[in-house]
Amino acid sequence: MEGHSNGVPADSIKAAWVKSKKSAANGQCVELAKLPDGRVAVRNSTDPSGPALIFKKTEFEAFVHGAREREFDHLIDC
């Protein structure tokens, strides 16, 4: 394990951060980074030094599955 935990400053994570192609032009988006141990870090692009949330691979897989199945659509205005 790399020692990263929830709330660690996101800019202390040495990884390639990526964001969705659908991100807003004003830069307000979520960025993700795959950690060496398979976990996924998530940060707010408008606060790259702010806290990162760290998810286990299985947790992130469950989220992606739910997103693909549209289980979270009720959380946004469509």
Residue 78 pLDDT exceeds 90: no
Q: Are 57 and 16 in contact (CB under 8 A)?
A: no
- Residue 8's contacts (CB-CB under 8 Å, 6 or more residues apart) are 51, 52, 54
Predicted confidence band at 1 (pLDDT cuts at 50, 70, 90)? very low
Q: Look at residue 2 in the predicted model and tell me its pLDDT.
A: 57
Q: Are 37 and 63 in contact (CB under 8 A)?
A: no
User: 32 forms bridges with which residues in the sheet?
Assistant: 18, 42
Q: pLDDT tens across 11-33, in order? A: 999 999 999 887 767 777 899 99
Q: Look at residue 17 in the predicted model and tell me its pLDDT.
A: 95
Q: pLDDT tens across 29-73, in order? A: 899 999 999 999 999 988 999 999 999 999 999 999 999 999 999
